[in-house]
Chains A and B, each alone.
Chain A
Amino acid sequence: MAETPLDGTATGQSRPVGLHGVAADWASDQRAFKSVSWGKAMMWIFLLSDTFIFGCFLLAYMTARMSTTVPWPNASEVFALHIGGVEMPLILIAIMTFVLISSSGSMAMAVNFAYRRNRRATVTLLLLTAFLGATFVGMQAFEWTKLITEGVRPWGNPWGAAQFGSSFFMITGFHGTHVTFGVIFLLIVARKVWRGDYDDDGARGFFTSRRGDYEQVEIMGLYWHFVDLVWVFIFAFFYLW
């Protein structure tokens, strides 16, 4: 991976490659990850911690599901929609998943255009990503409403184990909160890109008094892709199992 010097001072010293390179980097001074900025490192570590949170939620859900003595509601029936007189299992979830995965695509493109300093394209793609994210949350709200009108509550449901509703609302709710925060931050980043805050003579952060740069779009992207990835697991364990 190419070195990204943060200012002109990093020399183009040749560094060993492969495992030797890793060992050399960790044995070196100043930075263990030579091509990673502080912001990116912080996001990666945060995501690792967040992975543990989602991991615990999912493990708790699996425990509940495996140890319950009452039947677990059948996912493909519960999550089915009547469209034109036909029962379509998992159709809403399929669309939601498609929307969220697409938003990862537009996010990746936004990052690309940000590094090329194409502000207009970046803003457009960021807004598109935020729109897709908001659509996802909207569809989730629809799904919650549907289930609630059918009688699913955190403490019980008409079809079987009470833990079905508890885990469903808790896990999708926690994930939906992540998406919502993501949308808010996407809008903030989009605004900053639009105003040129990340350009060389851009404005400084209000609280931090630091100059931003276009890498922040990529850091935003890391979070967004993570939220997407988590959804894939929730999808697999909750809806497909």
Chain B
Amino acid sequence: MVDATPHAEQGVPPAETPELELYHPKGWWTTYVFSQDAKVIAIQYSGTALAIGLVALVLSWLMRLQLGFPGTFDFITPEAYYQFMTMHGMIMVIYLLTALFLGGFGNYLIPLMVGARDMVFPYVNMLSYWIYLLAVLVLVASFFAPGGPTGAGWTLYPPQAILSGTPGGQGAGIILMLVSLILFIIGFTMGGLNYVVTVVQGRTRGMTLMRMPLTVWGIFTATVMALLAFPALFVACVMMLFDRLLGTSFFMPALVEMGQLMSYGGGSPILFQHLFWFFGHPEVYIVALPAFGIVSDLISTHARKNIFGYRMMVWAIIIIGALSFVVWAHHMYVSGMHPWFGFFFATTTLIIAIPTAIKVYNWVLTLWRGDIHLTLPMLFSLAFIVTFVNGGLTGLFLGNVVVDVPLSDTMFVVAHFHMVMGVAPVLVVFGAIYHWYPKITGRMLNEAMGQFHFWVTFVGAYAIFFPMHYVGLVGVPRRYPELGDVAFVADSVHSLNAFITIAALIVGFAQMVFLFNLVWSLRYGREAGGNPWRATSLEWQTPTTPPPHGNWGAARPIVYRWAYDYSVPGAPEDFIAQNDPGPQHRGAV
């Protein structure tokens, strides 16, 4: 049983580990730049991720301008379109969302939420950020390399990725991309080991695994997955780098380019696809699971109600994480494989729908008869549920081999994955920022700007991606910079494309308002106090806000209950903090 009962404190076991010896910064540089404090590292990670994410956003406008008004913009050549598309996809998935959820939210929230003073190895944690920054810089450098960045698509499929027909294929573009990914993986591993060990071995007294907020569960499971999935990408990158630089033929079959027989031969492009998707599918859940966790906490807090089925939620996260390692080939239905494999991977794919659906039901049941406050975090959470269900349903179409074959490589796929892994997690990122900004800065984000941001983003995202399903259904392929005059493309597609582009520009503008809000509120935001949302989890119970170096002042908190004691009958307030020992002991400990 979950200890949902208000006064369930038992004798809390004595401390098992000594106090963490913190690194005490000796000056400005070690306090704010080369800081070993997980909170500073978190802000550095988030800032870098948002900055590079802005590049990806601008690239999406350029792509949309080309699709909506083909032929109008001379500088968007087909080559440039492919480069924009590749960089947009790669940055969004890896350098923005993965880095932001794990490096940003993970660093800030894990130590605070489990009652630790910091990550277990702060120095390694700091290195993690600097290597990530290096990876980002290498990525940015590829924009300025001769020939420009790679245009191979974010999946980087060989053989085309390293051939001269692909932008950046014979220049430095693909090399820098691969090097950047390798660096990213090394940097992430350093941070990821920290997050995992902190959760498993570094919790405070009374904090059992089954008392952890779901946010921690989501980030933790995603990190474990990343530590097991990134190796496949690492290996694929190393091998492709060799194919490109040393002339090996791991992925390269014998082929003729421009009438010339190339020196490659005997390699397997399908092998790359397997390695890539063994990473790529878990990656989808690496950005989804933290979002699941965070959204559970936001919903519970802002509906003043305990999360429905906490244990089910935890097990669903773990089961989704495990299952997502055995579904990867559903991205390869059209690459050619034995029908039995297709059958196997379709089955496992559809089985994942079960724990996922359980989570959705539990969110809805948490809301059911809750005291719903339509605060900004709550609005974004609700929007997440809607878009996620939407994307999940189209996923059922694409998971079935026979339905996927005609839909594969159409805009329907683009609409699907933007709904489920683009828009949905990004909405959670926004919700989470509105929720935790007061803890990080001590001030609330401006509500009016926030409302504007929310409505434009939510409605706008639907305006962009909903029509895209239709565009895909009528057969418009993805990764085509221009459709030209083809008979099967209806006129409505052209007008819809223009409409989508305008919506994308408006949504993009709303993000500028959001960024402005982040800066403006730093100075002019309303004072938040320590616990503006009257939330239970530990990060809201720090002695000062923002939390100091070492988080807890003299003594670490002791945990007596789970994180979801909202609206407990008979309690003096409508929430009971996790470190509240209960009425008999208040003031005693």
A contacts, CB < 8 Å to B: 5-7, 9-11, 13, 26-34, 36-39, 41-42, 45-46, 48-50, 52-53, 55-57, 60, 63-64, 67-70, 154-155, 161-163, 165-166, 170, 174, 205, 207-211
Contacts and interface: CB of A to CB of B under 8 A. Distances in A.
What's the interface size class on B, roughly?
35 or more
B201 A41 contact: yes
A223 B382 CA distance: 47
A45 B194 CA distance: 10
B508 interface: no
B249 A208 contact: no
Contacts of A154: 242, 246-248
Nearest to B209: A26
A194 to B, nearest CB: 23
Contacts of B24: 209
Contact of B203 (A11, A30, A64): A30
Contacts of A209: 21, 23-24
A32 B14 contact: no
Nearest to B230: A49
Contacts of A32: 200-201, 209
Interface of B: 12-18, 21, 23-24, 120-123, 189, 193-194, 196-197, 200-211, 227-228, 230-232, 234-236, 238-239, 242, 246-250, 263, 265-268, 271, 275, 278, 559
A9 B193 CA distance: 26
Nearest to B235: A56
A45 B196 contact: yes
A154 B271 CA distance: 18
Given A11-B14, A45-B193, A210-B21, A64 B200 contact: no
Nearest to A63: B271
Contacts of A6: 16-18
Q: Select the residue from A55, A63, A70 with max chain B CB neighbours within 10 A.
A: A63
Q: Select the residue from B12, B230, B235 with max chain A CB neighbours within 10 A.
A: B235
B229 to A, nearest CB: 8
A70 B283 CA distance: 36
B341 to A, nearest CB: 15
Nearest to B21: A210
Given A30-B16, A32-B209, A52-B228, 8 more contacts: A6-B17, A9-B15, A29-B206, A30-B201, A30-B203, A42-B194, A46-B193, A55-B231
Contacts of A26: 209
A48 to B, nearest CB: 7
A50 B49 CA distance: 26
- A-B pairs, top 3 by smallest CB distance, nearest first, are A52-B231, A166-B248, A56-B235
Given A162-B249, A163-B249, A56 B232 contact: yes
Nearest to B275: A56
Contacts of A31: 16-17, 200-203
B209 A9 contact: no
Contacts of B236: 56
Given A48-B227, A52-B231, A63-B268, A30 B189 contact: no
A34 B16 contact: yes
